[in-house]
Amino acid sequence: MADDVPATKKLSHDPAVEGFSHHADDIASDREPYGPPGLRGLAANPFVVLCAACSTLGGLLFGYDQGVVSVILVMNQFLTAFPRIDEGNPGSGFAKGLLTAMIELGALIGAFNQGWIADKISRRYSILVAVAIFTLGSVLQTAAYGYPMLTVARLIGGVGIGMLSMVAPLYISEISMSSYSHTCDINTYSSLLY
C-alpha cells in the first residue's frame, strides 16, 4: 500500500521536512521534459547540437595541423625555402623534430593555462580567445620566412589548440543536458583522434 502513494505524498509524512511538503509538489509539477536521452535527445535541441559541432571543430584542428606538417616537410618547395630541414644538412633531424614537436609543447602550455582563463572570462569567450590565438599562429606560419619564425608560430598555434582541447569538452558538457552531454563529449574526443 505504501508503494501506491506518490513520492510527494510520502515526503509530507517525514518529520524532517514538516511544513515543506508543498515544495515537493511544486518541484514535481514544474519540471519540463527535455526529450529522450542519447542521440534522439540531441535532435530535440538543435542549439546544443550546433554549439557541440562548432566546439568539436577545435579538436579537428589538432589532427589537421599534425597531418599537414608531415606532408609539407617533404615538399621540394618547402625544403628550398627552409634549407635547415633538408636531409642533406647536419642537424636536419633535430630541426624537423623540433618543428613538429612545437605544436605539442604549445598545446601543453595552452591546456594548463586555459582553466583559469575559462573561469575568469567564461567558457564561451575563452573559446574565442583560443581561436584568435590559433588564427594568429596560423597566419604567422603562413607568413614565416625563416625557420625560427616558423617554429615560434607553431608554438603559438599549439597554445590555441591546447586551449581549445581543454575548454571545448568543458563548454559542451555545461550547455547540454546531462543525459546526452556524454554523447557530445565523445564526439569531441573522437575528433582529437581523427
Query: For 133-192, what is each residue's pLDDT tens digit?
Result: 999 999 999 999 999 999 999 999 999 999 998 888 888 777 766 555 555 555 555 555
Please report which confidence band the pLDDT of residue 47 belongs to, taking 50, 70 and 90 as the band edges: confident
Question: What pLDDT is recorded for position 138?
Answer: 93
Residue spans per domain, the chain: 43-180
Question: What pLDDT is recorded for position 108?
Answer: 95
Averaged pLDDT, 63-86: 89
- The residue among 4, 12, 46, 45 whose CA lies nearest residue 28 is 12
pTM of the entire predicted model: 0.70
Q: What CATH topology corresponds to 43-180?
A: Growth Hormone; Chain: A; (1.20.1250)
Exposure string for 52-90, b = 16+ CB within 10 A, e = fewer: beebbebbebbeebeeebeeeeeeeeebeebebbeeeee
Question: What pLDDT is recorded for position 42?
Answer: 63
Non-local (6+) Cβ contacts of 31 within 8 A are: none
Distance, CA of 11 to CA of 145 (rounded, Å): 73
Which is higher by pLDDT, 172 or 73?
Answer: 73
Question: What pLDDT is recorded for position 194?
Answer: 44
Is 57's pLDDT higher than 70?
yes
Phi (first) and psi of residue 187, to 5 degrees: -65, -40
Is 21's pLDDT higher than 90?
no
Enter the C-alpha cell of residue 159. Answer: 597554445
Instruction: Tell me what the pLDDT averaged over the chain comes to.
Output: 78
